[in-house]
Structure 1
Amino acid sequence: MHRVLAINPGSTSTKFAVYFGNECVLRKTIRHPLEQLLRFKTIIDQFDLRKGLIIEVLQEEGIEVDSIKYIIGRGGLTYPLESGVYRVNNRMIEHLREGILGQHASNLGPILADYIALQIPGAKAFMADPVVTDELDEVARYAGHPKFQRISIFHALNQKATARLHAQKINKKYESLNLIVAHLGGGISVGAHKNGRVIDVNNALDGEGSFSPERSGTLPVGQVIDLCFSGKYGKEQIRRMVVGEGGFVAYLGTNNAQEVEKRVKQGDEKASAVQQALFYQVAKMIGEMATVLEGKVDGILLTGGLAFNKDLEKYIQQKCGFIAAIYTYPGEDELEALAMNALRVARGELEAKEYNK
């Protein structure tokens, strides 16, 4: 039986799980207090802390670490890649440590996987479907000026896992379907999946598409320019307006979508208007991606934490039901998605790729 350790480092947590075949035998979330993390200059400097805690918990739980032969970490900000499972190699580690496309907690995923694999005879380290997964059609890269280019940064791991799960449920191959997948969480990304490739998707990190619980999404460019040169705000303040302090945070003072939903049900008119605007913008994005797929859509999939909201599902059905059938897969399970990718490699169903950027 193939044994897998999946690792998903977040900004203030380290999540990991152990799978014996398809069965999850251990799942843990270690929370890192902010004051603990502030001791470190960079995210990479947190490596020893997180590595030590993972190994400590595995030993406490009686997991025989040497029996685990596949270790897979959430993919970080490497150079853009096609989707798939990649072997962790020295070049990947070097790029993640340097932060060639930025520093993010996910950069630690492959580094942690590599370290643990090196301690186990015969073990292998991988990453899968990183956030920089890039399968855009060339026409989708044009932004409107040669100094700018549209970039593919989105929730690739969960979008791909949800699309594959849906294909399995309807007894089809993911590679044979045209799907629109909307990941609806703290960030929102809507992708056009054509025969197994995401040929267009919004940059969910810093400035495209619908606003979300904590991101502003697409903003009126002229107004942004005026704000930048108003002398009232610094670069980091404006960046926080876009990522972290936009969306629900800016309008309603919270990034908790469940709290917003509760306010709506209690008759809060402002919360209702803001939530409705988010629904509206998501529906518009789905319509855009239907155009990308020339109207040939086999299904619209809603996933992520916001997909638990029945009012959202009802709204998308009302606005987009004419495009294709709508299927809801609420929540996300990135640890399971990582483990299943590793198992596909272990079983010979998928060949791992080499990172050679």
Structure 2
Amino acid sequence: MSYKILSINPGSTSTKFAVYQEETELHCETIDHSVEDLAPFSDITDQMEFRKEMILASFAAHGFQLNELDAVVGRGGMLPPVHAGGYYVNQKMKDRILYGPIFAHASNLGALIADAIAEPLGIPALIYDSVASDELHDIARITGIPEITRRSFTHVLNTKAMARKAAASFGKKYEDMNFVVAHLGGGISVNVHEKGKIVDVITDDGGPFSPERAGSIPLSYIVDMCFSGKYDKPAMSKMIRGMGGLKAHLGTHDCREVEKMIADGNQKAREVYEAMAYQIAKGIGEISPVLSGNIDAIILTGGVAYSKMLTDWVIERVKFIAPVILMPGENEMESLSLGALRILRQVETAREYTESIIIR
């Protein structure tokens, strides 16, 4: 049987969707939403019907038929900690997203839109490798402040998909290999994949600075800034996420523009860009001892991994640890579709969402 899958990835100002026939992408599209488009909606979840209808209109305009679909899979949102892999969208999941408590985030719409399309068709609605997936070792959760426990907020979807591809290139299963994976995007995270699980992470606010995030800063400096009277909470939050990193130093988060600055002789741009690569390498080195040296490969993925200048700097510093594999791109639509395909083929089993899950 040949399966056809619709995958949906809602972002803050866009909705991506793709149609796959088995492993083959038939169509992929990004629908942009202006500030004016979204202004009528007071809550993110109120956008569900608007975004769903835009997907369906474009889906039909490209000649696809809803009755040809075998499953709809959405990006997993900011649920309480869940297992990695697939979940069926059920009433408990929808109630959590609609009524909380839950952190408001566009990814929460993935489950709602998938269910709204799939339910009338009588086919499965799924989420896969949710942002909230948490497989950390117990020891990785402990911090120096007893009231704060570390959680696994990281680029689960793409890093797991790339680790699976890398394992296949070795002729092995993901569950039989160990990887360190650095996702290089607007935010940068570094993960340890041990025998099929992400057992430790450096989050996008706890390690290298990135195109638009400040990364790890000595806490005493942050405390001083917070109590200086110069900044309120929104200003500090924006400085950490959105206006930090390359954006703060160079006025742009576009690595292509930074490389053009460097080509034009801008020494500051070179120093800052190389410093970002330096910190990425440090992050890889920091997390590598989790595997006690038993690392099959280091994977560099994400959109910024297209930058040969940056990845060359990183590779030069970390190649002594393990072989480095470049797998650039976000790959989120493919990752969602392939996850759903494994469930349809019964290679994997999707879970039923329940509020009783406790991950320690």
Indicate the TM-score class for this superposition, using the shorter chain for normalisation: over 0.9
**Counterpart in 2 of 1:291?**
289
Which range moved further: 89-98 or 78-87?
Answer: 89-98
What's the C-alpha RMSD, in Å, of the aligned pairs? 1.1
Matched, 1:332 2:330: yes
Q: Which structure 2 residue ranges, 5 or more long, are not aligned?
A: 356-360
**Counterpart in 1 of 2:358?**
none
SS at match of 2:127: strand
> Displacement, 1:278?
0.6
**Counterpart in 2 of 1:32?**
33
SS at match of 1:296: coil
> Displacement, 1:130?
1.0
Matched, 1:187 2:194: no
Q: Give yes or no for contact 1:78–1:95 (8 Å, CA) kept in 2.
A: yes
> Displacement, 1:68?
0.7
> Displacement, 1:263?
1.2
Q: Deviations over 1:97-136 (max 9, x none)?
A: 235341111000011001101121x311000001111111
Q: Give yes or no for contact 1:150–1:203 (8 Å, CA) kept in 2.
A: no
CA distance in 1, matches of 2:99, 2:142: 28
CA distance in 2, matches of 1:325, 1:261: 26
**Counterpart in 2 of 1:236?**
234
**Counterpart in 2 of 1:159?**
159
Matched, 1:250 2:230: no
> Displacement, 1:244?
0.8
SS at match of 2:211: coil
Q: Deviations over 1:236-282 (max 9, x none)?
A: 11111111111111111111111112211221111111111110110
Letter in 2 for 1:322: F
Q: Which structure 1 residue ranges, 5 or more long, are not aligned?
A: none
SS at match of 2:351: coil
CA distance in 2, matches of 1:47, 1:333: 23
Instruction: Write out aligned runs for 1:67-146 (5 A).
Output: 67-120=68-121, 122-146=122-146
CA distance in 2, matches of 1:312, 1:342: 33
Q: Give yes or no for contact 2:302–2:328 (8 Å, CA) kept in 1.
A: yes
Q: How many pairs are equivalent?
A: 354
CA distance in 2, matches of 1:260, 1:301: 23
CA distance in 1, matches of 2:264, 2:354: 54
CA distance in 2, matches of 1:232, 1:38: 30
Identity in percent: 44
CA distance in 2, matches of 1:203, 1:97: 27
Letter in 2 for 1:18: V
CA distance in 1, matches of 2:212, 2:23: 34
SS at match of 1:118: helix
SS at match of 2:18: strand
Instruction: Write out aligned runs for 1:33-48 (5 A).
Output: 33-48=34-49
CA distance in 2, matches of 1:80, 1:16: 25
CA distance in 2, matches of 1:41, 1:3: 34
Q: TM-score, normalised by structure 2?
A: 0.96
Q: Deviations over 1:61-94 (max 9, x none)?
A: 2211012120000000001112111111111112
Runs of 4+ residues deviating >4 angstroms:
none
SS at match of 1:47: helix
SS at match of 1:217: coil
> Displacement, 1:200?
0.5
CA distance in 2, matches of 1:188, 1:94: 31
Q: Give yes or no for contact 1:77–1:99 (8 Å, CA) kept in 2.
A: no
Q: Give yes or no for contact 1:73–1:109 (8 Å, CA) kept in 2.
A: yes
Q: Give yes or no for contact 2:202–2:287 (8 Å, CA) kept in 1.
A: no
